[in-house]
């Protein structure tokens, strides 16, 4: 029986790759780490088809993380799931502003969501950040507005989940990022969520920090 964490992950990844092969699905090598980890986090093979990547998005995202680029998430759940060992090795800070009182007050004053107000703050205070949106389509729509106004993130991860404005927000950010040449990874359609956004983000962190192999994270 496979019981050690590192062996469980290695076996899981081998199973995923074998089943993808059985389905006749070929994964582009440059996107493999993100796709496999999203499937690993969800047991949902749809991510092999619904993940959208702008050209070189994974490479550019990993390079930004190697430079210590800060990471902003739209939920504390995503923030909590980011690899601390990876962040430490890369020298990256990671932040979420959803619980910030000033953000909450601004949302009340403007009659908007905390997610949108938090994105306003992130774009103002953290130029060139990696932005991971796993829950709130309003955050993604606000980010699209900022990009149209000149904001240039290092990478956008667009993973909101649900039924209201979710599909539209992803289509909007995909169009804007492609128009402006912004690296983007997005789970198109209704699927996604904070867990999947973090899985994609950790895949890039592990790539940047040379930690894809569990043994390099101290796992046996």
Active-site residue flag, 146: no
Our measurement of the distance from residue 114's CA atom to the centroid of its chain's CA atoms, rounded to an integer in Å, reads: 19
From CA 73, how far away is CA 130, in angstroms rounded? 9
Residue 157 DSSP one-character state: E
Distances (CA, A) of 19 to 16, 39, 156: 5, 11, 29
Going 190 to 191 to 197 to 202, the CA torsion angle's sign is negative
Q: DSSP alpha helices (H): ranges in the chain?
A: 5-22, 32-42, 47-50, 57-66, 76-81, 84-90, 101-110, 114-125, 137-148, 166-180, 194-208
From CA 200, how far away is CA 159, in angstroms rounded? 9
* Residue written as token pair 């894809």: 212
Distances (CA, A) of 143 to 25, 60, 81, 178, 189: 33, 19, 22, 14, 18
Tokens representing residue 102 in the block: 């000033």
Q: 40, 165, 216, 217: which one is catalytic?
A: 40
Report, as residue numbers or ranges, the catalytic residues.
Answer: 40
């Amino acid at each position: 029986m496979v019981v050690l964490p590192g062996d469980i992950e290695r076996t899981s990844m081998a199973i995923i790759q074998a089943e993808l092969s059985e389905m006749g699905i070929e994964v582009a090598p440059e996107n493999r780490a993100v796709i496999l980890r999203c499937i690993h986090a969800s047991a949902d093979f749809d991510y092999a088809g619904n993940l959208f990547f702008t050209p070189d998005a994974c490479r550019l995202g990993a390079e930004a993380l190697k430079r210590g680029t800060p990471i902003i998430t739209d939920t504390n759940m995503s923030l909590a799931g980011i690899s601390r060992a990876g962040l430490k090795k890369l020298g990256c800070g990671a932040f979420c502003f959803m619980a910030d009182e000033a953000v909450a007050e601004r949302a009340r004053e403007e009659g908007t969501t905390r997610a949108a107000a938090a994105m306003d703050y992130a774009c103002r205070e953290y130029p060139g950040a990696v932005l991971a949106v796993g829950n709130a389509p309003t955050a993604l729509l606000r980010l699209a507005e900022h990009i149209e106004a000149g904001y240039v993130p290092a990478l956008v991860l667009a993973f909101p989940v649900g039924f209201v404005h979710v599909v539209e927000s992803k289509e909007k950010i995909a169009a804007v990022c492609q128009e402006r040449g912004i690296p983007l990874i997005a789970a198109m359609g209704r699927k996604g969520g904070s867990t999947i956004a973090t899985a994609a983000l950790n895949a890039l962190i592990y790539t940047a920090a040379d930690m894809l192999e569990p043994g390099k994270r101290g796992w046996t």
